[in-house]
Chains A and B, each alone.
Chain A
Amino acid sequence: MTSFWAVLSATLVKDIRLEWRSKDALNSMLFFSLLVVVIFVFSFDPLAEESRHIVGGLVWVAFLFAAVVALNQTWARELRNQVLDAYRVSPAPANALFLAKSVGNFLFVSVLEGLMTPLFIVFYNLHVLGPAWQLIPIALLGTWALVVNGTFFAAMSLRTRNREIMLPLLLFPISIPAVLGMVAGTTAILTGESSAHFYIVLLLTYDVVFTTASLALFETILHAE
């Protein structure tokens, strides 16, 4: 029975299981994330008075790069085993596949963020001056914004000549309003100097618009030869 939810959950569980089994990929990603944080710590003085103003930007740039590396991985595995062709031929709804991939990527990237965040807090001695709970919607909405478009563009880049570089080339320009929202919102909360409400609404709007667009167009992308 190829119902939407059945396909979605089956694909998602399979992806998670695969990632868990091939721990090398996960481990190297975790180590990469740690390295990114350390590089930033050496490049941007954590003792500076102004550090609270720039950490918002640093954190999200770090997350962005980690997300790109993670996204490049997930489709590559499908290609290797020609799973993609199997999907195209099967009657399974394309959207279920897309959502499963997106949710899987979301979980994967969230794990990486979960590792990097305490490191940033420790190295930069972060002390949140604004309403800290607001960081949760920003983190969730922001990560989804990167992942939903990232999954879509990763699928688009599959048949391009320079696949790995094509993903960030396509993703970064489109993500600019979301990145602005994430960074400005995080900075607003960390410094307590202004309200992050607008940015949360902006991210929510962004997520709704692009999730809809991705779902509407994914079938077209998948069937591109």
Chain B
Amino acid sequence: MKRLFPILSIVTVVLLGYALYLALVVAPTDALQGEVYRIIYYHVPSAWTAFLLFFINFVASIRYLTRSKASTENAAKWIAIGIGVVGLVAPFLPPVRRLIPAGMEPSAVATTIVLIPAFYFLVGKLFPGDRLDVLAVTSAEVGVVFCTIVLVTGPLWARPVWGIWWAPGDIRLTSTLVLWLIYVSYLVLRRFSNSAQTQMLAAALAVFGALDVPLVYLSIWFFRTQHPQPVIGGGGSMDPRMLHVLLFSWLAFLLFGFLVCWSRFRLELLKREVEQAHAMESLAGAGVSEKASLPLSRSAG
């Protein structure tokens, strides 16, 4: 396992380098936007990675919240299974099929929805007990980093292409901004909370955030229909060569993100080990036996 990290790091650097080459040299020039459009090869993969990480945080938070009581844990499990079953079947039924936007295959929708229970059970399997919380803080923090990049590269793309840094009705960028704000507040809560139950509070906040996201989308969507928006060109289909570069770029960033998460995860484990050692030492100082075992707890600061 120890050897895996350096090897993967080298592979990642190679992939990122190759992705850069593809993005700048191999990918064709855009007819309308010229060279600037190449920002998407960094902007879009960062967005997808950030959303994936926030989704993982959400799943970890739900599992963390429901694990204290057997009844809630059971309920969550069955809801996840239910979503999977519905997601597998529903997109193929005619009334639902009509709701799917043109260009999207029902099988693609089904696969995406089935990922929800898949992640739910995978996360539970791989991260038992307190490790759920370590996963939560890791995915939140790294997610914020990637999300920051989305918010920085977005306006840098918008300005030369549309002439404005920010369009208030730009539903994707504005929703991303709100998601970023929610998760920054999540990290602030984790940092400033003294309580031994910080982890529970943070998980509750993550759930609130997840509930908020569709409402954000909905509110901006309607707002946009009422106000004139800059004409944002770009039709539906993308040049297949561009799509290939985009997907490769995403692969490279995904691997990079994975390694960053792995590092952050190890950092968090080390931090808790140090805190436990601190606590043991103060107990030893007070004359209590060192052999007394302590539950993993967080001290202030």
Contact = CB atoms under 8 A, between A and B. Distances in A.
B196 interface: yes
B218 to A, nearest CB: 7
A114 to B, nearest CB: 26
B64 to A, nearest CB: 11
A221 B204 contact: yes
A177 B215 contact: yes
A210 B211 contact: yes
The DSSP consensus for interface residues of chain A is helix
Contacts of B198: 224
A119 to B, nearest CB: 28
Interface stretch (A29-37, A73-81, A102-110, A159-167): A159-167
Contact of B204 (A161, A169, A198, A220): A220
Interface in A158-182: 159-162, 166, 169-170, 172-174, 176-178, 180-181
Nearest to A168: B185
A174 B223 contact: no
B195 interface: yes
Nearest to B204: A217
Interface residues of A, number: 34
Interface stretch (B93-101, B145-153, B186-194, B273-281): B186-194
Interface in A26-65: none
B33 interface: no
B121 to A, nearest CB: 23
A156 B189 contact: yes
Contacts of B185: 169-170, 173
A144 interface: no
Given A156-B205, A160-B194, A173 B219 contact: no
B56 to A, nearest CB: 20
Interface centre among A161, A174, A202, A205 (most CB of B within 10 A): A174
Contacts, number: 94
B207 A177 contact: no
Contacts of A184: 223, 226
Contacts of A221: 200-201, 204
B204 A202 contact: no
A173 B182 contact: yes
A86 interface: no
Interface string B48-69: 0000000000000000010000
B212 A180 contact: no
A209 interface: yes
Contact of A202 (B195, B196, B219): B219
A180 B220 contact: yes
Contact of A156 (B204, B209, B215): B204
B209 to A, nearest CB: 7
Contacts of B188: 166, 169
Contacts of A213: 207-208, 211
A224 B215 contact: no
A220 B65 contact: yes
A98 interface: no
Task: Give 10 nearest A-B pairs by CB, closest first.
Answer: A224-B197, A173-B181, A177-B219, A177-B215, A159-B195, A180-B219, A173-B182, A160-B192, A161-B192, A217-B204
26 contacts: A149-B208, A156-B204, A159-B193, A160-B189, A160-B195, A166-B188, A166-B189, A170-B205, A173-B185, A174-B212, A176-B212, A176-B216, A177-B212, A177-B219, A178-B215, A184-B226, A198-B222, A202-B218, A213-B208, A221-B201, A224-B197, A224-B200, A224-B201, A225-B195, A225-B196, A225-B197
Given A184-B223, A194-B226, A213-B211, 16 more contacts: A159-B194, A161-B300, A170-B205, A173-B182, A173-B209, A174-B182, A176-B178, A176-B219, A202-B215, A209-B215, A210-B208, A213-B207, A217-B207, A223-B197, A224-B196, A225-B195
